[in-house]
Structure 1
């Protein structure tokens, strides 16, 4: 028996007015969502999959226009008045956004933000909403929810913030849940928990799920039907098993084959020591009572490491393990105890004294949209560092370097006159990498630089990082939960849990012969995803 169609999209088109003229992001797609089913919309960054759903929800940027139909239970969402649309958004149709830090208000506690959809759509008071909020935080796996309900977004890890967004989307038990890369910021073990949670809630609530992702392992496990998008068009659609076992379009076959490959040889034994960290500890104040001792959270606990020229150290661990905090501490971007030396000299704690060294010690942030100014063109964003470190450089030369940097990360130089909101999540991440690379630093901390990228682009970024490293003798601290990427780029791996290093060693040793049970669990979860890729390629051959 065919299930009822609750969302029917016909000839949906999305166009953006840009400085370079109109850009057609979605080109007349058709799509159906049936009650209780899961559909996946897949494709590379810039394929139009996120913009299509933003158009359905009336969430396009001001320079975007949508046409066509998106009928939800007979009501056309395209062009619907804001007041009428607000009765549907957040209640009947909800959305988990790709970048949680830019979706959560940094000035409001987590509990207050989770209460908003409950107060607006159910009329609950803040007090009445609290038990439901605690229940939601427990459902999505937030540790110590009674304390975290009063935390601010910056006090949570990237993965924890994404789980808060999932809780907010589920608050009113929606009819349709649109999940735009909901597991991008999550490590492999938490990914499995979140997917199991969504599947359980879907079964219990009977809701439909529209899953937007570039992770084909998730698609095969989770989706009933798949829509494959490329350049704003649907190039193939069908039942999941059929599409994976017998893909018809060459683009679909390319997506199934894409995966980072190769290994990174270690630097020579005589490679120069660039960064040495001894007994680094980072603590955050979480409660300061009127009487009695203050309470602290130790995010990084007695960590020591050495990074040499030409070396890549991969830092892995679950969300909240202290990976990102360690990376920022090593660049003196936050206060910490312990000694951190660069080229044999301790890095100054004073920000003004430290500033000239920033050019040599760079950071690529996990959340690209939050680190890119929405008021500046991409060209200005990329060259901003040159204005600080090479102020005498002529504007023409800055523009030439911006074009070169965009080429290096696989973007059209003509895009430098556009603004960040006109790009997909993956494209914004490449812009963030270009902004760092233009300064030609010696050490780069890469905090989840490929988390928002599809597999085919990940391969390009891995190749780019290798080439830049070989040409310039760069050293990387590569923070990630993606084991396949870490294995491809790193020659040494550090495994963190609860702020501590639980295991470390050469990449092959840690991946192939882990000693600690925690490391073994991480590798087992990653291996299950690798088996999907091998299985799909074997079926095709």
Structure 2
């Protein structure tokens, strides 16, 4: 902080929430300061209080939350400002961008309207001038064809484009401080790199300070000047980035730095049988069409792809959003109509109807990215885990099903005594374990894992990766592991398929793909990944 003017000084900040179970103290009297033009990272696992700290500083807490202490912005305590004075600071001098822009942008308004409104409100410009400023901002964040995009709605843009729009909105009034709350977690690795590079360039150009709230330590080491490490509402360590990464003092910081998925998977034996095979698989979707819309457009999401999955093998499928990787996984499980040949356990299932596939479903399981969305909120965890047994082993008694639930939950590290609780009562990592237990209770041969760790903290990711590898070894499982997180893929897979626009652009053993990629697109993916193994060794 030498030579930097302190523009945000948080002192003794406490955040409490009133709940039915009493008062929960989310932030416990912490101090944080930010200098002009500085990049500060606030890191920690989910529930550490890092987001609530900044939400409190912006006076954006939920209605049952309250904050105390001091949040000093250039000599004014934001916690004591009236609404009118606060709004002159919030959104103007201090702006915030959020993790998921689709929930932050209004789906009923065009991008142009959502950009123009804060410009007019804070800068008092007329409609024509505000529109010019909005176009300038879209060009600044490199949105292609900004004139046309001004008329677009959020759902018509990709995740990376929506995040760029959020950045443009945050920059609309030339802020002193930009707070970025997990701004790249939901994005593909190449888009992550583009967004982070863009933020760094904009910071240099505009001279603003950035506060990164994140659990991705690769981002922190690459971009932050200083780091605050939070745990259970407290700052347990702070310091200059390089010093903290090179010589962490607190055990929790050391754990975070060591939390990257590590190790590698050995390939299956050469004579291992092929369990699941796709030959020249195609999936085509009809888009649009109708009485007024004219002829529909055909989108080939998977374009003549062949894949062979052996017993105890893990094939990692990587690529950007829209590359067709999830569609391929569902097609191989016969969850989507497709052309080509699909064989499972040496049986042709290419044209198997729903009835014919039913007895095979227990052997072909799918684990989704978001367990909160895929677990029924109306069922207890015990009911969720045993639901498949009602279909595939109807002869079991209620007591037998309950015993199987106990065994499955214990195997994935969930206390079986919690099986009468509901999904919302568990953390994200625990819900993912429950989703895995639901699949494993049927004793499958093949499991398709679709982005199973992307929404999880690094420490929880490591636990899930270790669990999946353990289950694979114990039960001779074969995995199709779909992900855009290359560090997780490297730890999980022994073979990699790289997809782009529905096609395979490169495939091969994991080490060969990571260490010596041949295709330009694969090289771009690898270069865009922030390789956190660089700091594991020094930590």
**Quick check: TM above 0.5?**
yes
Counterpart position of 2:304? 302
The 5-angstrom pairing of residues 146-295 of structure 1 reads 158-268=159-269, 269-274=271-276, 276=278, 278-283=280-285, 285=287, 294-295=296-297
Counterparts in 2 of 1:142 and 1:295: CA distance versus 1, 3 Å: farther
Counterpart position of 2:320? 318
SS of the residue 2:59 aligns to: coil
- The whole-number CA distance in structure 1 between the counterparts of 2:28 and 2:287 is 51
1:461 paired to 2:468: no
1:146-190 CA-to-partner distances (Å, cap 9, x unmatched) read 666666655655545444443443344333211122222334443
8 A Cα contact 1:94 1:177, kept in partner: yes
- The whole-number CA distance in structure 2 between the counterparts of 1:84 and 1:354 is 63
Counterparts in 2 of 1:112 and 1:386: CA distance versus 1, 3 Å: farther
1:391-412 CA-to-partner distances (Å, cap 9, x unmatched) read 8885997699489649836799
- The whole-number CA distance in structure 1 between the counterparts of 2:125 and 2:358 is 49
Q: CA deviation at 1:429?
A: 5.0
SS of the residue 1:438 aligns to: helix
8 A Cα contact 1:403 1:416, kept in partner: no
**Structure 2: runs of 5+ lacking an equivalent:** none
SS of the residue 2:508 aligns to: strand
8 A Cα contact 2:286 2:296, kept in partner: no
The worse-fitting range, judged by mean Cα deviation, of 17-26 and 247-256 is 17-26
- The whole-number CA distance in structure 2 between the counterparts of 1:271 and 1:473 is 12
Q: CA deviation at 1:334?
A: 5.6
Counterpart position of 1:437? 437
8 A Cα contact 2:487 2:531, kept in partner: no
Counterpart position of 1:35? 36
Task: Identify the match of residue 408 of structure 1 among 399, 408, 412.
Answer: 412
SS of the residue 2:28 aligns to: strand
The worse-fitting range, judged by mean Cα deviation, of 221-230 and 285-294 is 285-294
Q: CA deviation at 1:192?
A: 2.9
Aligned residues: 529
- The whole-number CA distance in structure 1 between the counterparts of 2:206 and 2:219 is 21
Task: Identify the match of residue 480 of structure 2 among 472, 477, 487.
Answer: 477
Counterparts in 2 of 1:310 and 1:232: CA distance versus 1, 3 Å: same
The worse-fitting range, judged by mean Cα deviation, of 285-294 and 184-193 is 285-294
1:497-520 CA-to-partner distances (Å, cap 9, x unmatched) read 233210011212222332222223
Counterpart position of 1:390? 390
Counterparts in 2 of 1:246 and 1:371: CA distance versus 1, 3 Å: same
8 A Cα contact 2:319 2:498, kept in partner: yes
The worse-fitting range, judged by mean Cα deviation, of 388-397 and 428-437 is 388-397
8 A Cα contact 2:380 2:423, kept in partner: no
Counterparts in 2 of 1:519 and 1:234: CA distance versus 1, 3 Å: same
- The whole-number CA distance in structure 1 between the counterparts of 2:148 and 2:335 is 26
TM-score (norm 1): 0.80
TM-score (norm 2): 0.81
8 A Cα contact 2:326 2:450, kept in partner: yes
- The whole-number CA distance in structure 1 between the counterparts of 2:83 and 2:363 is 48
8 A Cα contact 1:322 1:496, kept in partner: yes
Counterparts in 2 of 1:115 and 1:262: CA distance versus 1, 3 Å: same
8 A Cα contact 1:41 1:211, kept in partner: yes
